[in-house]
A and B are shown apart, each in its own frame.
Chain A
Amino acid sequence: MLSEKYPEFLAQLGELAKDHFNECFIDEQESGPVLIMSSPSPFDEDEEIAYSVQVEDGQNGFVLLQYNIILFTDISEEKLDDLGRAVCYIDPTLPCGNFILIKEGRLMLFRQCAIVPDDIDIQTAIQYSLTTLFIMERIVFNRGNELYGLMNGKVTLEQIKAAQAAQ
């Protein structure tokens, strides 16, 4: 059962993914182990983006796989409302996942989750997770640029809205 073997699942996933990332480790959090990985930010060469994978024990024989990519931290207060609107404009155009703005923490992440059966084969769960992470990365690299531009005054909310309308 994945709910019993998830430390092993995260360790194997980390081992396979480590060549792709700067850093890759398992963080023992209160809620359980979380696989954390980081890579250079595609938006700012001085920054990194962080990836996390965690497994939550669900009910009735299922578990929740949660994948996050933390894109921006320390977002300036005055940009939060505009970013919130931009997320609303961009999300309908995404093939999967959602940009999530945490106003209190002033950070933005991209999240995708899936419910899978607890009896899923671990290798299948690993392959599924790698596929999910690569697709999420591609979306973030393509669409996160607009959000980064908005944060830095290089793109306007109106431009983001117009781009959404054109899709």
Chain B
Amino acid sequence: MDRTEMLSRIGTMLDKAGIQFEFDDVNGRDVIVLSFDDDDALPADITLSFDDPGFECTALNYFSIISVGITPEIMEELLMILPDFNLGIRLGGFGVMTDEGVLYYNYSLMTDALDEASMFKSISACLDVVTAVSAEGKKRLLPLLKGEKTAAQLMQEDYQIIV
């Protein structure tokens, strides 16, 4: 099954689950974008696309921008806190693009070593977890992103997500 067909099948799966999405083209790459309401309790959106990690293996990438326009001061705080914050998260993790001022959440599921039935079940189960983790992470990092708390202050609290 090629990647376009796989994305199409994922689209059918999302349709059946009643999840809103659209197909898009980002830099010549086919993607699926799942959109959520602009709410602190939800990620802004999740983009699904296929990457090639090598060894003739394909990975489905779940990517969600959590926050943009982050100032250098807040970015410093994120660099302090993220290695610790990611400890409890087993599917992917939060990361930053320092020069772009972006905080994101990212997970890649290797797919084509799985049989077809297992693969689509895994894609769906991982999407549930990715949606929940990215939303919860956004909520927990919000005081830092808003400048209300420093990394050191947040790390004093029970702030990690354990999933």
A and B are partners in one complex rather than unrelated chains: yes
Binary interface encoding of chain A residues 132-161 relative to chain B, with 1 for a CB under 8 A from any of its CBs, else 0:
101100110000000000000000000001
Complex CA–CA separation, A83 to B79 (angstroms):
10
CB–CB B113/A128 < 8 A: yes
Q: Which residue of A lies closest to B96 (CB)?
A: A88
Determine whether A121 belongs to the interface, using a CB cutoff of 8 Å to chain B. yes
Chain A: residues with Cβ within 8 Å of the partner, total of 41
Most B CB atoms within 10 A — which of A66, A97, A139?
Answer: A97
Contact indicator B109/A114 (Cβ below 8 Å): yes
How many whole Å from A29's CB to the nearest CB in chain B? 16
Contact with B along A67-101 (1 / 0, CB 8 A): 00000000000000101110111011001111011
Q: Are A113 and B91 in contact (CB under 8 A)?
A: yes
Q: Does B108 contact A (CB under 8 A)?
A: yes
User: Which one of B78, B99, B118, B121 lies within 8 Å of A124 (CB-CB)?
Assistant: B118
Does more than half of chain B's interface fall in helix, strand or loop, or is it mixed?
A: mixed
Name the residue of chain A whose CB is nearest to the CB of B91: A113
User: Is the interface on chain B under 10, 10 to 19, 20 to 34, or 35 or more residues?
Assistant: 35 or more
What total of A-B pairs shows CB separation below 8 Å?
Answer: 107
Q: Could you tell me if A66 and B113 are in contact, using CB atoms closer than 8 angstroms?
A: no
Q: Are A115 and B108 in contact (CB under 8 A)?
A: no
Once the chains bind, are B83 and A131 in contact (CB under 8 Å)? no
Q: Are B83 and A114 in touch, CB under 8 angstroms?
A: no
Given A115-B125, A115-B126, A116-B114, do A100 and B54 touch, yes or no (CB 8 Å)?
Answer: no
In the complex the two chains form, is B95's CB within 8 Å of A91's CB? yes
Judge if B137 is at the interface, Cβ distance under 8 Å. Answer: no
Cα–Cα distance between A111 and B89 once the two chains are bound (Å): 10
Q: Which of A62, A64, A95, A121 contacts B53 (CB 8 A)?
A: A95
10 closest cross-chain pairs (CB), A and B: A95-B53, A96-B108, A84-B83, A131-B113, A128-B113, A113-B90, A117-B121, A101-B83, A98-B93, A115-B125
> B residues bordering A, Cβ < 8 Å?
51-55, 57, 59, 78-80, 82-84, 86-87, 90-93, 95-99, 104, 106, 108-110, 113-115, 117-118, 121-122, 125-126, 129
Residues of A within 8 A of B (CB): 60, 62, 64, 66, 81, 83-85, 87-89, 91-92, 95-98, 100-103, 111-117, 120-121, 124, 127-128, 131-132, 134-135, 138-139, 161, 165
